[in-house]
Amino acid sequence: MQGVNHKRIGAGTALVAGHAAGLPIVFIAGTAAIAYVISPLPDIDQKIGFIKHRTITHWAATCLAFAGLCFLLTYWYIAPNLAPLPFIGAWMASSLAQMIGIGVAIGCLAHIIADSMTIKGIPFFGPFYRRPVHLLPRFLWVRVGNRDEESTSENVAMLVLLSMGVLYFALAFNLL
């Protein structure tokens, strides 16, 4: 898939997941922004010559380990330096670490889940199980690099926005 489509799907997934978890809107927006920026990252293997495409960078274990590493580095090294600042404080600094960890996890996992809907699939459970995994039946597999991919990405983005609009409408009028 193209990077812009991964960005749409990553940010949309973060918005829906954050709202479903009942997180504050600032946290949801930050997590969605991080997921938007990070979601093309698993395709870095295309720029590195010695790693085959859709191998180690498309494993769920690698994505979760990277997200955990980002959280820990932020929590240990960045948050303590931000906490003494008068307008941030310790609570907000630790929330930043959580936001980064969750945003990276959602962005990377949304990327590999979107790639699992393509013809090639992905080795989701690697290194333990390296056969390609497809989350859709064969007749719904998406061809990448053509209009099918673009329309699928746009449909997913529109579905996310529509579902969020309906959800906010329902919440605004106390229907839920």
Average pLDDT of the residues of the chain: 81
Distance, CA of 4 to CA of 10 (rounded, Å):
10
By percentage, how much of the chain surpasses pLDDT 70?
A: 76
In terms of Cβ atoms closer than 10 Å to its own Cβ (0-12, 13-18, 19+), residue 94 is middle
Q: What is the pLDDT of residue 31?
A: 92
Q: How confident is the model at residue 46 (pLDDT cuts 50, 70, 90)?
A: confident
Dihedral, 124, 125, 130, 133 alpha carbons, nearest 10: -40
Q: Please tell me the pTM assigned to this model.
A: 0.77
77-81, 138-142, 152-156: least confidently modelled range: 152-156
Cβ pair 152, 9 in contact under 8 A: no
User: Which carries the bigger pLDDT value, residue 81 or residue 85?
Assistant: 81
Q: What is the pLDDT of residues 131-152, one digit of tens each?
A: 888 877 787 777 776 665 566 6
